[in-house]
Every structure is written in C-alpha cells, then in structure tokens.
Amino acid sequence: MDFLHYQNGQLFANQVAISDLAEQYGTPLYVYSSDYITKQFLAYQQALNDTNHLICYAVKANSNLSVLNQLANLGAGFDIVSQGELERVLKAGADANKVVFSGVAKSIVEIERALTVGIKCFNVESEPELYRINDIAKRLNKVATISLRINPDVDAKTHPYISTGLRENKFGISYQLALDVYRKAKSLSNIKIAGIDCHIGSQLTELSPFLDAADRIVALVDELKANDINIEHIDLGGGLGVCYNDEKTISPLQLVTELKKKFAKYANVELLFEPGRCIVANAGLLITKVEYTKHQDGNHFAIVDAGMNDLIRPALYDAWMRVLPVKEPKSSDETLIYNVVGPICESSDVLAHQRDLSVQQDDLLVVCSAGAYGFSMASNYNSHPRPAEVMLIGEQQHKVIRQRESFDDLWRGESL
C-alpha cells in the first residue's frame, strides 16, 4: 500500500490525513485509491499487450459502481456470478459483450437476462446447467455462447475455503468428464462452444499451481481439437495473491509470461484472465475508532467500532491484515499486545490477534489491504448500518462513492 505513509506524526493516504477523512465521513469507513486500482489493472494490460486477450475483473472482490465504472473505462471486461452483479456492471457502463458469467447455481431468470443483454460467454459448471442454458436459448430463439469450467484437480495451496480446483470442490466439471460433456455440448442446437475455463482458487502466491493447471488445460485443448472441437478462448481465471504481511507474491507480468509459454502453440486463441483481489485488495483500507481499551487477567483489548459485520475476512478465513495506528508511534510510547476486537456479540469478532500497539480510547486505527472482500462481504448483523465508502482521486481529492447506511435503511422493505 504505497500510498500510505506517516507525515508530521500522522498517517496519510497520498496527501490526505486519515484523521481528516474520519472526521469528515465518520467511522467505520472504507477508503480506496483510484490511482492504485488503475496501476494494478494496467500491470495486467501491459503484460498482455502483444496478446489477444480480455481482462475480466472479478466483481465479487469489490462491486462498488465507481470501481466498476473506472475499470470499464480502462477497457475491462467483467467476471460475474449473479444477476445482481450483471445489473451492476451494466449500470456502471460495461459492455455486455465483455461479460463472462460464472457460478454454480445460475437460475432460469439469470440465464434469460444474460442471453437477452448478450453477454460474451457462460462459464458452465455442470451438465444440467448446460441443458438448461440450451433449453432457454431455444425458447428465446438465441444461441448461447459457452465455455466449460474445468476442474483440473490441482491443489492451489491456499485456504480451503478459497480453494476451488480440487475434485472435492463444488466448482466446475471434472477433468475426466470434460471431453464427454464437450461432445454433448456440440450436439445441442442452441449452444456455441467458444472456450475452456479454469479457476483453481484465490490468494495463490506460487506459480506452480497455475502452471500445473495450464498443462492440464493444454492437454485437454489438444484432445478437443482431435475431436473437431476448436477453442476460441482459454479463460485462466484469477487467484493471483497479494501481500498482506510479508508474503512473496507473483506479479501479473511473471504470471502472464509463464502462462503464455504454455499456450505458445495456440497463439491465436484469446486469453482471458479474471483478476479481482490483486486489483483492489491493496487499494483499500478500513478506518476504525477505538471506543475503549480493556485490560484484564493479562489480556489487552482495543475495542473498535468496526466489526466482523464490516470486515469478515479475519473471522471467516483467519486472515491476517496489517493494523496501523493513525498517530505515528514514538519510541518512548508504551506498547502492549492487543487483540483488536469489534462490537459484534460473537467471540469470533476479532479483526487482529496479538498486535503490538500503543493505543488509547478515541484513537484511530487503519486495517490495511481491505479493498477486496471487505465491503462486498459486509452485512447488517446486530443491526449495524454498513459503512460509507470513499474514493481517493489523485493526491488530495476524495469523494463519497457510497453513503453510510441509515437506521431507516436497516428495515427498508420490512413491514409490521
């Protein structure tokens, strides 16, 4: 997060004091850097500039309309997993022809809508889904463009909740069954086979799982070609990891360079990537205020106003996220080992375990690397309104891109 730095004893984002953002917009507060999002997207674009390609941002990582609009203006396509995400990207100005629809449980209504607006491709995740898409396309007098999401049974070496490429995972079609399902797809009147899709997991920090999956996809493309099934695009999914602590990560250039070698004999085939986390994770932060400090039985708690309802990653995935005090620590400050905990009535409501901090009541803390799977997974649990979201634009400008929810928003749509 190169836009965060201390200046005159205070934490700044670019040239904006974090304390000023908290005072103007309140806490908890999500803040994103527009420049960082652009930089990360262009890293992919530049790595692929000599290749027929499409970068489809994974909307689930951060679905704010402003983020989507910025990426659409940069030429991005979008990877969606619901009709809600489809409507979001269309509202944000996306080209439907650059949208790929993933997800294991596409409903009839969702498929109808996607066919009506003319998306680029369905990433089909089961044989029954294939038949459903064909039936709906026939009824609407359309031809549905599809790829099959293949599960290559590759260990992504990541958290089991975000590993998607093993045979026991719910995602995709078994590698062993792929050829048979492609043959069935070829026989269907309202299906056009365009591609092959593979996504093995998220927060991958090694090249080997990507390369192992690529080897299996190349072998399958060869087999399909031998059966007169020609592939127009290869979708290699997302999953590129980011640095939350001290992880050694892979750059988009490293990843793309190695994968292009694997597909060299298919140089005319379009390559699709679906990055999400690596575009937005380190573009975002969550500002929170210390409501109380609590010291008992040798335990120290910084009780803050942000909880697992605002940021569930630490509770759900045991994710480690850096926590920085907004006041720059001095060498003379007394530090204690704190658990940073939120207001939710769950013992799992811990944003950070065992951190060396010097904090007092009413101090501000920043949870770093919160741009991905932060607000997009937020909820109203314990009837907490969701935070506002703010975008940093350049060095000094900032604007609200989502208003803080009101209490009236909590029961909107309900009735006595």
CA–CA gap between residue 37 and residue 373 (Å, rounded): 15
Peptide bond just before 28 cis, omega within 30 deg? yes
Structure tokens at 337: 């080992």
In contact, 326 and 286? CB cutoff 8 Å: no
Task: Tell me if 60 sits within 8 A of 162, measured CB to CB.
Answer: no
> Is 381 annotated as ligand-binding?
no
Given a contact cutoff of 8 angstroms between Cβ atoms, the answer to whether 29 and 39 are in contact is no
Tell me whether residue 274 is annotated as binding: yes
Give 151's strand partners. 174
Does 317 carry a binding-site annotation?
yes
346 assigned ligand-binding residue = yes
Residue 276 known to bind ligand: yes
Tokens of 397: 């400008």
Beta-bridge partners for 389: 30, 402
Cα dihedral value 274, 222, 154, 131, nearest 10: 70
C-alpha dist (Å) from residue 179 to 121, 151, 165, 409? 19, 12, 18, 49
By the 8 A CB rule, do 365 and 340 touch? Answer: yes
Report, as residue numbers or ranges, the catalytic residues.
345
The reply to whether 152 sits in an annotated binding site is: no
Residue partners of 133: CB distance under 8 A and separation at least 6:
106, 111, 122, 124, 144, 146, 191
Residue 373 annotated as lining a ligand binding site: yes
Binding residues for substrate: 277, 313, 317, 346, 373
Binding residues for pyridoxal 5'-phosphate: 239, 274-277, 373
Binding residues: 239, 274-277, 313, 317, 346, 373
